[in-house]
Chains A and B, each alone.
Chain A
Amino acid sequence: MDLFADLWMGFSVAVSPINIAYLLIGAMVGMIVGIIPGFGPSAGLAILLPITFGMDPIGAVMMLAAIYYGSMYGGTITSILLNTPGESATVASTFDGFPLAQQGRAGPALVMQAVASFVGGTIGVIMITLLAPAFSQVARNFGPPEYFLLAIMGLLTLVVMIGANWRYGLISVLIGFALGTVGVDLETGQGRFTFGSAELIGGIDFIPIAIGLFGLGELYYAFYQGLHASGSGSIVQYSKQSRFWPEARDWVETRVTMFRASLLGFVVGVIPGAGATIASLMAYSVERSVSKTPEKFGKGAMAGLVGPESANNAASSGAMIPLLTLGIPGSASTAVLLAAFLLWGLRPGPLLMEQNPEFAWGLIASMYLGNMALLAINIFAIPLFVWLVKIPYRVLAPAVVVVCTIGTFSVHGSITETWLMFVAGIVGFFMRLFGYSPAALVLALVLGPLAEEALRQTLTISRGSFWIFLERPGSLWIIAITIGILLLVPLMQRLGRPPKLDAASGEED
C-alpha cells in the first residue's frame, strides 16, 4: 500500500544517528520548557530556530516538532506536583493531578500521565498517517460560524464543571467573561476597558491568570492551613509505603478514557485556533460527564488526569494536519514551525506533502519515535520529580513564587502581566477559600472572546441573519453533535449509574 511505502520511506529518512540525536535534544528541551511555567513551546521553538538555519531541514523539523509535543509531557509535571500548570494545555491536569499528589499518589499520577501522553501522542500520529487528507477537509470547513458553535460546545462543558454550587460557579464564569472583554475590540478597533494603557490593548492573556489562580492561590491556601508549621511540612503527602507504580485499578478505570480523550483531542487539535488547551479542558468535562463517579472529579480521580493528558498530546499531533496539508498554523507554536518551513525554503501549502514527501513523512515517522523516547525519559525521570515533593513547604513555597514570577514574566516580558499574576494569586486564594471555581473562570476567559469574535464575524458575513448556522454543512454537523451529547450524556448517566454508584461510594468510605 502507498501509505506504508510512504511511512517506510519516512522512517528510512528519520532514522539516522544525527537525526535521532536531534530528536532526543528536541524531546529534552520540550520537557524542560514544559516544566517551566509560562515558558511555552513557542518560546522553546523560537530559541532553537536560529540554530537550525544551517541544518538539514528534516533533522531540524524533527527537533522542533519534538519540542512542541515534548512540552505537553513536561507541562503536566508541575501541574501534578505544584498545582502550577507548566503549559496552558496542562491547566486541566491540575484539577485532579494535584489532589492525587496530595493523597500521596504523585508517583502513580506521574506514571499515568506519561502513559496517557504517550497513548494520546501515538494515536494522534497514527491518525495523521491514516487520515491526513481527510482531516484537512475538516479544517477547511471551519469558518466563523463553525468556530462560534465550537466555542458554544466548549462553554456547555462549563455547566458540568460548575458542579453543585452553581451560584458560585456562575459568578466565576462571569468574572472570566468580563476579563475576556478587555483589549482592542477586533471588529471596531476600539479599546475596551484598557484605560488608555498600551499594555492592555492586546487583552488579558489567560496564562498569568491561570498561573496566579492555581499556583499562587494554592500556595497561599496551604499557608493559610498552616502547612508550613505542621506535619512533614510538605505541600503534598509522600510516604515510602505508597507505591510508585499505578495500581491495576488505575489502568482499568482509565483504559477507555485514554482512547476517547485521544480521539476528541485529535479532532479539536485539527481545527486551527482551537488547539491543545481547549482540547484538554473539553476532555476533562467530557470525562466528568460520562463518568460513573463524577463526584470524585476534582478530588483525585485518575480519569480526570488521564483525559486531559491524552487529549492535549493528541491535539498537538492534530495541529500538524492543517500545517502539513494546508500550510495553515493552528497555534503560536505551529506558527513558529511555519516560519521555519519558509526559512528552509519549503513552501507550506496543500502541495507540500506531494512535493517534499521525504520531509513530511520523515516528520511523521519521527513523531512515533519521539513519543517513545519521551515515554522512556518520563518514566526514568519520575523518581527525580517525586523527590521534589519531599521538599518541606518552607523551602518549596518561596521557590514556587519565584518560578511563577519568572514564568509569567518570560511569556511576554511584561511586568504588567506579572502584577496581574500576583493579583490573580490573591483572588485564587479567596476563590479556593469560599468555594468558587477557578477552572470555570479560566475556561470562560479562553472561550468567551473566541465565541464573541466568531459570532460577530458570522453576523457580519450573514448580514445579521442567524440562519447561516443552518445553511452550512459544517455548522449542521456541530449542532448535531452538540445535541447528541446533550441527549446522550444524561441518558448514559441514568442507565449506567445506579448499580455502580453504590460500589463507588463504598470504595470511597
Chain B
Amino acid sequence: MIGMTGKAWSLIKAGAMAGVVAAPLALPQQAAAQEDYPSEQLEWTIAFGPGGGNDIMSRTIVDILQKYDIYPAEIAVENRAGGSGAVGWGYLYSQAGNPYAISTTSGSYITTPLQADTPWGPSDFTPVALLASDDLVLLVNGDSEIDSFEEFIESARENPPTIGGIGTINVDFIVAKILSDQADFDFDYVSFNDAGEMNTALLSDALDAMMANPAEILGLVESGDMKALAFSGDTPPSALGDVPTMAESGYEIGVSLPRGLILAPDVSEEAQNWWIEAMKQVVETEEWKNYIETNQLTENIQYGDEFEETILSTQENFETILREQGVID
C-alpha cells in the first residue's frame, strides 16, 4: 500500500537538483561525438511505488548520474505504480521510439506478462544493461535438526517438506522447483504475500523451510533464529557466513531475477550505446558498490544483446516450469 504521486517526487527532485544543474558536463566519449543525444530532459519511469527495491535502485542510479554529471540534462523521475509493474512498463511501451524514456526492471518484468494480458513482453523493449540479480537463500528454523544442505536434501527425500516463498508466479517457487527436480524430492509450496508473514511462519515452526532474499533475513541468521543452508547464486553475500552454493552440491539452478535498465521500444542504436557507456561509468562508482553491498545483491553485469538473451532465457525457463505445473496455460 505504499503510494504517492510522481509529481511530489518531481518537485523534491527539482529542488534537490537546483544546485547541480549548472555544473560542467562530462559526457561519455561516444556521446560526445553524437551531438544531439542526449540533450533533453530524461523521463525516468519507476514501475513501482516509493520505498521498494526497484524504487531504491532507480533513485540510486539517478543520484549517481547527477552527482558525476554523466547525464547532461535534467532527469524527471516518476513513480507509475500499479498492476505489478504493468502500468509503468505499459507507459514505457507507449513511448516507442522516444530515446528519453527509460525504466528499470525487476522480477515482475518477467512474471507480470505471464499472469496478465499485457500488450508488451520483456523482449519488446530496448535493452541497456543487466546490473545485478536477485538470488535466494534456503533457510530452516534455528532450532531445526537439519544443519546442512545435504541433510536437508536427505530428509526431504524421506519426508516431503513444506517450503515457503513469496507468490506463486515468482522466482521463489521456480528455484525451489528446479532444486526439487534435480535433487529428486517432493515438496509442498506455501505461497505468502509478504516477507514478514513468511518469516514468522518459519519462526513459529509452521513451515519446514523457506526461500528468501538475503537482505531480509541477515539479522535472523546472525542471531541464530534461522539457519541458512544454501545459496542459489554463484557468490553468497559474505554476511551470511559460510553458506555453500547449490551449484557446489551439483544443483545448477541458473535462474535469478534480473535488475537492469531498459529504454522504450525501437530506440536508435546511438541512444542504446550512449546508455551502455554511461552505465559502464555508473557501476564503477563508490555509491553503486555501496548499494550492491547494503542490499546484498549479486553484481551481474551484462550489456545490450547479452542482457536481452538473459531475459529471454529466464522468461523461457519460467514459462516452461509454470506450464508444467499447470500454473499458467
Please give the residue numbers on chain A whose beta carbons come within 8 Å of chain B beta carbons, in ascending order.
Answer: 38-40, 42-47, 49-51, 88, 139-147, 184, 186-191, 194, 196-202, 205, 207, 272-273, 322, 326-330, 332, 335-336, 339, 342-343, 345, 347-352, 409-414, 416, 453, 457-458, 460-461, 463, 472, 474
Contacts and interface: CB of A to CB of B under 8 A. Distances in A.
Contact of B115 (A39, A191, A339): A191
Contacts of B305: none
Nearest to B53: A339
Nearest to A410: B5
Given A46-B4, A188-B168, A412-B82, A144 B190 contact: yes
Contacts of A38: 3
Contact of A143 (B55, B195, B204, B294): B204
Given A201-B83, A414-B87, A189 B327 contact: yes
B257 to A, nearest CB: 16
A413 B82 contact: yes
A70 B115 CA distance: 38
25 contacts: A43-B3, A43-B50, A140-B225, A142-B197, A143-B205, A186-B192, A187-B191, A189-B115, A189-B322, A198-B90, A201-B112, A273-B197, A329-B194, A330-B196, A335-B51, A335-B196, A336-B50, A336-B51, A350-B223, A350-B225, A351-B222, A409-B5, A413-B3, A413-B87, A457-B192
Nearest to A350: B223
B262 to A, nearest CB: 18
Contact of A186 (B162, B193, B207): B193
Contacts of B55: 46
Contact of B191 (A45, A198, A411, A457): A457
A139 B4 CA distance: 29
B116 A191 contact: yes
Nearest to A201: B116
A190 B192 CA distance: 15
B2 A43 contact: yes
Given A184-B115, A184-B169, A412-B49, 18 more contacts: A50-B12, A50-B16, A140-B203, A144-B201, A190-B327, A198-B90, A198-B116, A201-B86, A202-B83, A272-B197, A327-B220, A329-B196, A348-B219, A411-B1, A412-B3, A412-B82, A413-B3, A413-B6
B219 A352 contact: yes
B66 interface: no
Interface string B192-215: 111111011101111100000001
B107 to A, nearest CB: 14
Among the interface residues B3, B50, B327, which one has the most CB atoms of the partner chain A within 10 A?
A: B3
Contact of A273 (B4, B52, B196): B196
B244 to A, nearest CB: 22
**Closest 5 CB pairs between A and B?**
A349-B219, A143-B206, A198-B86, A46-B50, A189-B168
Given A49-B51, A410-B4, A474-B204, A199 B197 contact: no
B167 interface: yes
B193 A453 contact: yes
B328 interface: yes
A460 B5 CA distance: 39
A145 B206 contact: yes
Contacts of B115: 184, 189, 191, 201
A461 B190 CA distance: 7
B314 interface: no
B200 A347 contact: no
A146 B196 contact: no
A336 to B, nearest CB: 4
Contact of B87 (A186, A198, A207): A198
A30 to B, nearest CB: 14
A140 B322 CA distance: 32
Nearest to B8: A47
B86 to A, nearest CB: 3
Contacts of B177: none
B20 to A, nearest CB: 14
Contacts of A413: 3-6, 79-82, 87
A332 B191 contact: no
A145 B201 CA distance: 9
B218 interface: yes
Contacts of B193: 186, 273, 453
Contacts of A186: 167-168, 191-193
A185 B192 CA distance: 11
B148 interface: no
Nearest to A416: B82
B90 A457 contact: no
B84 interface: yes
Contact of B220 (A144, A350, A458): A350
Contacts of B162: 460-461
B1 to A, nearest CB: 4
A200 B199 CA distance: 27
Contacts of A347: 218-219, 222, 239
Contact of A463 (B188, B215, B220, B294): B188
B117 interface: yes
A51 to B, nearest CB: 8
Contact of B82 (A51, A196, A199): A199
A351 B2 contact: no
A368 B111 CA distance: 45
B23 interface: no
A343 B294 CA distance: 7
Most buried by B among A199, A336, A347, A457: A457
B4 to A, nearest CB: 4
A141 B215 CA distance: 22
Interface in B74-128: 79-84, 86-87, 90, 112, 115-118
B310 interface: no
B1 A40 contact: yes
Contacts of B220: 326-327, 349-350
Contact of B204 (A88, A141, A345): A141
A332 B49 CA distance: 11
A150 to B, nearest CB: 12
B84 A202 contact: yes
A12 to B, nearest CB: 26
B222 A46 contact: no
Contact of A198 (B56, B59, B117, B192): B117
B295 interface: yes
A377 B173 CA distance: 49
B188 A43 contact: no
B207 A143 contact: yes
A144 B2 contact: no
A55 to B, nearest CB: 14
A205 B2 CA distance: 12
A43 B4 contact: yes
A347 B190 CA distance: 27
Contacts of A329: 194-196
A412 B46 CA distance: 12
Contacts of A44: 4
Interface string B207-237: 1000000011011111101000000000000
B114 to A, nearest CB: 9
Given A49-B51, A198-B117, A328-B199, A339 B219 contact: no
A141 B202 CA distance: 9
